[in-house]
Amino acid sequence: MMDVFPYLVAGWVFLTGCYGLATSRNLIHAVGCLSVCQAGTYVLLLAVGYRDGATAPVFSDLKPGSRPVVDPVVQALTLTDVVVGATVTALLLALVVQISKRHGTVDPDELSELRG
């Protein structure tokens, strides 16, 4: 069970975020759901890199080779994405603010009615 449980949690988090995105009635809420989706990918990546009984891949207070370490590559991928993802969230929010100025609403359903 423990072999796949973390992967399943990552999938659950991702799909919940997708569901929220599709049913959201407010674009700001939708942006929040998108960051939940992102969190799912972080959990998956770090779960793939984990190794039982290992420690963090930082050798400032650890003699190299004395203990196994977890996979640093997936951690580096996740780390950059956490910060870059936040700025992309900011860009999306700027778009939402702009939409609310132009159309006076942030409900996706009302917006598509306006266009149609």
For residues 14-53, which are near another protein according to CB under 8 A? 15-20, 22-26, 28-29, 31-33, 35-36, 39-40, 42-43, 46-53
Residue 31 in contact with residue 92, Cβ under 8 Å?
Answer: yes
Q: Find the binder of another protein among 7, 110, 113, 114 (CB under 8 A).
A: 7
Residues numbered 54 to 83 that lie near another protein (CB under 8 A) are: 54-60, 64, 68-76, 78-83
Nearest Cα to 38, choosing from 78, 4, 9?
A: 78
Task: Calculate Rg over the CA atoms of the chain.
Answer: 20
At a CB cut-off of 8 Å and minimum separation 6, what does 107 contact?
25, 26, 27
Contact between 111 and another protein (CB under 8 A)?
no
Q: Kindly state the smallest distance separating residue 99's Cβ from another protein, in Å.
A: 9
